[in-house]
A and B are shown apart, each in its own frame.
Chain A
């Protein structure tokens, strides 16, 4: 293994995997890096240079701290490396990683796969085979067959709601915590939407739990469809859902939209648009299980809380949103309140 020597002839040529960025933040066993045939570059430009000089089997890019320039850097890295690129994403970077590995018409995808960190060097190495088609690291060095798959399965179980396929409460709260931490340092904006289904107990009692489950699944599909790709949606309780809206540094929002999002006194326009759209679509959803008289009766109540205006921690944001949600229920249901606004029903906002 070679690490950061400056001479290209000395540094490159002996490794099969190039790791880029702060590997200490990506791998639980980063101190074991010398056991594996890989080169490590802390800087993107050094990595691009190294990739052009050596035929790597794969490139692993730790996204943490590289976000601002990741798109152009990955394009250049792909051009230089001609090897599969695997992103190593912290939970908070997963929505961006997911988008970067998606294929778009006429555009080469920026990376080939992503893995959520922290992971292990061994696990990363064993997973390379599925991406690269070749075992970049000798099997003796990596986990036994099947263990990596099992790890991924357990990871999915720990973060996903099995009924709806959305993220679960644990994931939502941890993601919100991480994205708030990032927003705190980058003057970013985060908005939390918490909502539940009005009269859900009634549907469960009258139509049965299978119908109740189907309502939850339909709500999950609709809310996911209404949100932007990078927004994170989860089911956090029985019929309670949450959406974390945040500023995507790679988004294509117009300047005007950016300005609106960053104006301290203004409303979080995009979350409000999404919440209204979802409320409307859910209210008109056709659910055959409810019978003819049950069409168009579904409704939600919810609340939007904004960081940093309404709270500076996950706990505060959820508390404010929960209180506003309760107020929305008491005020007649079928409404979404904006925390801290005198005229707080978003249906009344311009």
Chain B
């Protein structure tokens, strides 16, 4: 376990194919923090896992393209179940540009695979779920959306 930070009573749902490299890395990092890790093959499996995990503090991590299937409906499901959602760019099937914006607006943290350790640490550092971490993450979302929109050449409607 990493000193000073325990992930007990928390669950990370990793959405990815079994041999997917970013997923394996996420599971490894989560394991360091003694976080309960659940592997799901796809967004449907993740929805079932999330819905069955009642009253647990959950972070869902997976490729944006996978999580955004079914018209980004999973983001609403995650919100209803008070789960944090972290979507990886550059992993799995590519996502449409508007999906990035939709995800960010839904409160999803959109990051690169190499940022997952800091996301996990930030999430674990929070006292509860949802927590002050969520507020901090939301601030990051805004920055991320601005950055992404700049990259994609889109205007931000305020």
Contacts and interface: CB of A to CB of B under 8 A. Distances in A.
A binds B: yes
Interface of A: 6-8, 43-46, 48-49, 51-53, 69, 72-73, 75-77, 79-80
Contact of B45 (A7, A8, A51, A72): A72
B38 to A, nearest CB: 12
Interface in B58-97: 69-71, 73-74, 76-77, 80-81
Most buried by A among B44, B50, B71: B44
A166 to B, nearest CB: 35
Contacts of B77: 45-46, 49
Interface in B8-50: 41-45, 47-48, 50
A44 B71 CA distance: 11
B80 A49 contact: yes
Contacts, number: 58
A48 B73 contact: no
Query: What 10 pairs across the A-B complex have the smallest Cβ distances?
Result: A52-B51, A76-B44, A80-B48, A76-B48, A48-B47, A49-B51, A45-B73, A73-B44, A72-B42, A72-B44
Interface of B: 41-45, 47-48, 50-52, 69-71, 73-74, 76-77, 80-81
Nearest to A66: B70
B13 to A, nearest CB: 12
A332 to B, nearest CB: 52
Given A72-B44, A72-B45, A45 B52 contact: no
Given A43-B70, A43-B73, A69-B70, A48 B44 contact: yes
A58 B9 CA distance: 33
Contacts of B81: 49
Nearest to B70: A45
A77 B70 CA distance: 15
A276 B12 CA distance: 53
22 contacts: A7-B80, A8-B80, A43-B70, A45-B70, A45-B73, A48-B47, A48-B48, A48-B51, A49-B50, A51-B48, A51-B51, A53-B51, A69-B44, A69-B69, A72-B41, A75-B44, A76-B42, A77-B44, A79-B48, A79-B52, A80-B47, A80-B52
